[in-house]
Amino acid sequence: MTKLTRLDKLRLRLEAQNACLGWAFGQIENMDGPVFELGLGHGRTYDHLRTYLPDRDIFVFDREIDCYEDCTPPDDRMFLGNIDETLQSASKRFPRKAALVHSDMGSYTEAHNAAMSAKLSRLLPEVVAPGGLIVSDLPLAMDDAETLPLPPGALEGRYFLYRAL
């Protein structure tokens, strides 16, 4: 088997991300609740979310704002700081209310990814509505969620889907 380059991995992750988000948009169509974007980065996914979900309240979580100027969320939609603190704050404001959480919190180091997966597995059940979806670049282990099959166009292991119970 040919070794995957970083470019290959990025392409496959983005294809899976796009397929999973497109599928999720249809799934939450008749569901109330905000959308959470964990990891603003350069704002590309935030831009995608606000374009395809124009009537949704979208809240963004990151340590800092480092995105394209035209992809900066309004101040009242940003949770700035450490994800432990910001998700705990959001769980008080939106207890089990989020219809969709998109989490792009992974990196290229296994130690970071393992720690972040554990942290998100602990924190996300407090904010996701029953029946709500989590679209994640990291595998999660949550007792209160079921793992869902990926839609066509998403390669196994590049993205992960969960439905809160």
- Indicate whether 61 belongs to any domain: yes
Report if residue 10 sits inside a domain: no
Walk along the chain (165 residues) in steps of 10 and give the mean pLDDT of each run: 87 96 97 97 96 97 93 96 96 97 92 96 97 98 97 94 98
**pLDDT at residue 41 in the model:** 92
Contact 128, 89 (CB under 8 A): no
Q: What is the domain count for the chain? A: 1
Which pLDDT belongs to residue 1? Answer: 60
17 within a domain of the structure (yes/no):
no
Q: What is the dihedral of CA 43, 49, 51, 53, to 10 degrees?
A: -160
Q: What is the pTM of this model?
A: 0.95
pLDDT in the model for residue 59: 98
Report pLDDT for 108: 79
| CATH number of the domain within which 94 lies | 3.40.50.150
The helix, strand and coil proportions of the chain, stated in percent and rounded to the nearest 5, come to 40, 25, 40
Identify whether 73 is part of a domain.
Answer: yes
pLDDT score of 88: 96
C-alpha distances out from residue 2 to 5, 8, 108, 131, Å: 9, 11, 19, 39
In this prediction, residue 2 carries a pLDDT of 80
Q: Has residue 7 been placed in a domain?
A: no
Domain that holds residue 56: 39-132
**Residue 157 in domain:** no
